[in-house]
Amino acid sequence: MKKLLSAMLAATMALTMLAGCGSPSNAPADNGTPAGDKGTAEQTGKFAPIAKEDIKVGVIHITDPAEGSGYTYTHDLGVQGMQKNLGLEDSQIVRKINVNDSDATAIQTALEECVEEGCNVIFATSWGYMDYVEQMAAEYPEVLFAHGTGYKSNGENFTNYFGKIYQARYLSGIAAGLKTQSNKIGYVSAQGAENGECTSGIDAFAMGVESVNPDAKVFVKVTGNWFDPEGEGQAAEALISSGCDVIAQHCDTANPALAAEKAGVWAIGYNSDMAEKAPGAVLTSTMWDWSVYYTKAVEDAINGTWDGSNYFGDMADGLVKLAPLSDLCTDGTADAIKAAQDKIMSGDWDVFDGKTELETNTGEKVTLNGADYGTCTWYYRNVEVA
């Protein structure tokens, strides 16, 4: 009898505890769904405004932003910038770090946790999260999801964001083209010609080089890996030993720039300003300022202007930029870059406008629209795979 009683007591206790847990986590969802339906009628956006104090932003990072450089760090600077711009509390940002983008369980858990912790806007920063974000967006139609890089979206609560980094690469090509004396410029690329993100960047860079130095050639070496510290340095060393005297890069570590510094040649950095790491070599760096997009996206959620459209930012928005030119640049670099930058910023001209015919290194004529950068699998005429 005593046993039965204690079992029943325990069961009652467990039930009350469950109920206690349940109500707060249900509450925001209950408020969210009906409001979402009402919103479409009176707002320009597809979702109702969310009061600033109710906003909770989830971020899924592939590594740890505390590493102080590289891809995740740059994204997290953007999140911090957004937090400052909008005056959000620390408790309103939920970070999931070291979420391996090829580990399905880890990705799903991270996304689920964000939703359970009450996030109403979730940013997934790495390519490999794409399919899982798509599933989650279908499962939780009241939560807003945005996925960086990639190409999928649903026009409602799942959008895609990226930017015209090729504009900054074009400008950095001007710095490299003016600096080189051997007329050989090296480029360490994480992925081969089949990857449009890398390839379009190389083409834009090469066009920038050609605009000031038609004699110079761009030599590409591919590591085949987004993170390969040893290979990135080795590729740069191989380029330098074949006579390249400026090394540009599309990979995660600063090792190409450091290899250039060691060999006494010059470098163009990527992601963050690599002049901090290799001050003896870096001319400038092509950089992202993700705070521009993160601020806009969260603002849209607050104002109820989230319209489900994809974001493809550019230099005029400030999403894409060039680090301050170092003293190592040739005289006149600043003016040449300024002239090209003004054309880009005014919107009169773009590197890839979808109309101008460009010649590939196999002699074909092609056009490329900036937004279709992912389809770019050809190299510009002054590019050579070394």
Partner 1 sequence: MLLKFIVAAIGASTPLLFGTVGETLSEKVGHLNLGVEGMMSIGACAGFMVGMMTDSFLWAILAAFGAGVLAALIYAVLTVTFMADQNVSGLTLTIFGVGLANFIGIFMLGHSPSGTLKLPDGITAQMRGVHIPGLSDLPVIGELLFSYSPFVYIGIVIAILCTVFMRKTKAGLNVQAIGHNPAAADAAGISVTRWKYTMILVGGGICGIGGAYCALIINGGVWISNNVGGLGWIAVALVIFAKWKPLYAIWGSFVFGALRVLKYYVPASVIQLPTALYDMLPFVITALILVVSSMRKKRDHNIPGSLGVNYFREER
Interface positions with partner 1 (CB under 8 A): 63-64, 66-70, 192, 221-225, 227-231, 233-235, 237-239, 241-242, 253-255, 258-259, 261-262, 276-278, 384-386
Token pair for 59: 């971020």
Shorter beta-carbon distance to partner 1: residue 160 or 271:
271
Shorter beta-carbon distance to partner 1: residue 253 or 341:
253
Reference 265, options 280, 287, 253, 251; nearest CA is 280
| Measured distance CA(246)–CA(244) in Å, rounded | 6
Shorter beta-carbon distance to partner 1: residue 70 or 148:
70
Shorter beta-carbon distance to partner 1: residue 238 or 358:
238
| Measured distance CA(271)–CA(320) in Å, rounded | 10
Using DSSP, state whether 146 is helix, strand or coil. strand
Angle at the Cα of 33 (from 49 to 131), degrees rounded to 5? 90
Backbone angles phi, psi at 302, to 5 degrees: -70, -45
Shorter beta-carbon distance to partner 1: residue 125 or 157:
125
Task: Decide: residue 31, CB within 10 A, 0-12 exposed, 13-18 middle, 19+ buried.
Answer: middle
**β-bridge partners, 58:** 94, 122
| Measured distance CA(164)–CA(251) in Å, rounded | 17
User: Nearest distance from residue 227's CB to partner 1, in Å?
Assistant: 8
Shorter beta-carbon distance to partner 1: residue 234 or 330:
234
| Measured distance CA(274)–CA(90) in Å, rounded | 28
User: Nearest distance from residue 356's CB to partner 1, in Å?
Assistant: 27
User: Nearest distance from residue 245's CB to partner 1, in Å?
Assistant: 15
Note the residue count of the chain. Answer: 386
Reference 74, options 319, 285, 275, 289; nearest CA is 289
User: Nearest distance from residue 282's CB to partner 1, in Å?
Assistant: 12
Shorter beta-carbon distance to partner 1: residue 148 or 233:
233
Q: Cβ distance 95 to 59 under 8 Å?
A: yes
Reference 48, options 300, 296, 309, 310; nearest CA is 300
User: Nearest distance from residue 216's CB to partner 1, in Å?
Assistant: 18
Shorter beta-carbon distance to partner 1: residue 46 or 277:
277
User: Nearest distance from residue 271's CB to partner 1, in Å?
Assistant: 13
Shorter beta-carbon distance to partner 1: residue 69 or 172:
69
User: Nearest distance from residue 229's CB to partner 1, in Å?
Assistant: 5
User: Nearest distance from residue 279's CB to partner 1, in Å?
Assistant: 9
Instruction: For the chain, give percent helix, strand, coil, nearest 5.
Output: 45, 20, 35
User: Nearest distance from residue 129's CB to partner 1, in Å?
Assistant: 20
Q: E strand or H helix at 26, and its extent? A: helix 2-42
Reference 208, options 177, 248, 247, 237; nearest CA is 177
| Measured distance CA(302)–CA(50) in Å, rounded | 5
